[in-house]
């Protein structure tokens, strides 16, 4: 089956783009472009990092509520962007749990925390815990656990299938990761302004009633995922039992704000039939 809606990417003002839609069982409903091409993920790296942290949790290497990061902060705070750390600096501007401060620094602290707990460099731990078991052979972490992943649509389709039907983690752990943590917390969704509330799970952003948003106007409130400043996104909509990955080589900007929402709405309409 091929989804005609994916051809809307031809209208995106980007040099190169690839996308695919996948079911939980790994069935690819449609794809577009060079799905084996490696793209910088930017913040789409964060869900991969979060999944590895959750594997470390299930292995007993870390606990979600153990201290990590600033005073009073925990692994859970770091995953949910409520540690108080600022965006790109290891500087605290609020108490843990008070505000949703989207933080690359927080995910870097997470990577260091897991590396110390396991005595394995985080990039290697990610490879062993997530990438290798899922056959994501074209995916690497080449720096920050917050933003320096490189991958392909083919590999992220494997990851999206895993998140929808977990094999590496207990489904209850994944369900908790997709549940809002520190509900009612407001903050800025990068590129889309202040959101109240700015709901987030453990490493995955949750759509809920956010407006504006990078997913579709018809996306279910339970839709979760992430987008990246390299012009990339991954969303999973549990109501339609499907996930969509789109990777490009043009930095996020007004073009993406204009293109992504109607694209997602068209994909969802076709998947629903």
- pLDDT tens track for 114-153: 999 999 999 999 999 999 999 999 999 999 999 999 999 9
Asked if omega into 197 is within 30° of 0 (cis), the reply is yes
What does the mean pLDDT of the chain come to?
Answer: 97
Domain boundaries, the chain: 4-272
Average pLDDT over residues 185-194: 94
DSSP state of 165: S
What does the pLDDT read at residue 98? 94
In this predicted structure, the answer to whether residue 1 has a pLDDT above a threshold of 60 is no
163: left (phi over 0), alpha (psi -120 to 50) or beta: alpha
What does the pLDDT read at residue 28? 97
Q: Are 18 and 247 in contact (CB under 8 A)?
A: yes
Asked if CATH classification 3.40.710.10 holds for the domain at 4-272, the reply, yes or no, is yes
Determine the Cα–Cα distance for residues 83 and 79; give it in Å rounded to an integer. Answer: 8
Average pLDDT over residues 195-201: 96
Give the CA diameter of the chain: 52
0.85 surpassed by pTM: yes
Tokens of residue 158, six digits: 């494997």
What does the pLDDT read at residue 32? 96
DSSP state of 129: I
For residue 2, what pLDDT band results from cuts at 50, 70 and 90? Answer: confident
In this predicted structure, the answer to whether residue 81 has a pLDDT above a threshold of 60 is yes
Q: Are 264 and 219 in contact (CB under 8 A)?
A: yes
Q: Are 100 and 186 in contact (CB under 8 A)?
A: yes
> What confidence tens digit (pLDDT) does each residue in 168-183 have?
999 999 999 999 999 9
> What confidence tens digit (pLDDT) does each residue in 212-255 have?
999 999 999 999 999 999 999 999 999 999 999 999 999 999 99
């Amino acid at each position: 089956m091929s989804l005609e809606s994916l051809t809307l990417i031809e209208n995106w003002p980007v040099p190169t783009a690839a996308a695919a839609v996948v079911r939980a069982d790994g069935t690819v409903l449609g794809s577009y472009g060079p799905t084996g091409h490696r793209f910088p993920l930017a913040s789409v790296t964060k869900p991969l990092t979060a999944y590895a942290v959750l594997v470390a949790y299930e292995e007993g290497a870390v606990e979600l509520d153990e201290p990590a990061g600033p005073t009073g902060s925990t692994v859970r705070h770091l995953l949910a962007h409520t540690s108080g750390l600022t965006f790109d600096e290891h500087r605290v501007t609020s108490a843990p749990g008070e505000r949703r401060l989207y933080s690359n620094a927080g995910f870097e602290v997470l990577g260091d925390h897991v590396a110390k707990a396991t005595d394995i460099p985080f990039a290697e731990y990610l490879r062993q815990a997530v990438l290798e078991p899922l056959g994501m052979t074209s995916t690497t972490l080449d720096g920050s656990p917050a933003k320096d992943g490189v991958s392909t649509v083919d590999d992220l389709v494997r990851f999206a299938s895993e998140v929808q039907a977990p094999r590496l983690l207990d489904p209850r752990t994944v369900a908790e990761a997709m549940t809002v943590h520190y509900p009612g917390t407001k903050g800025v969704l990068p590129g889309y302004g202040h959101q109240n509330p700015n709901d987030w799970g453990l490493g995955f952003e949750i759509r809920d009633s956010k407006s504006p948003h990078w997913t579709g106007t018809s996306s279910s409130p339970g839709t979760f995922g992430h987008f990246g400043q390299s012009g990339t996104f991954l969303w999973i909509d549990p109501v339609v039992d499907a996930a969509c990955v789109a990777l490009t080589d043009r930095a996020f900007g007004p073009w993406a704000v204009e293109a992504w929402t109607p694209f997602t709405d068209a994909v969802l309409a076709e998947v629903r039939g």
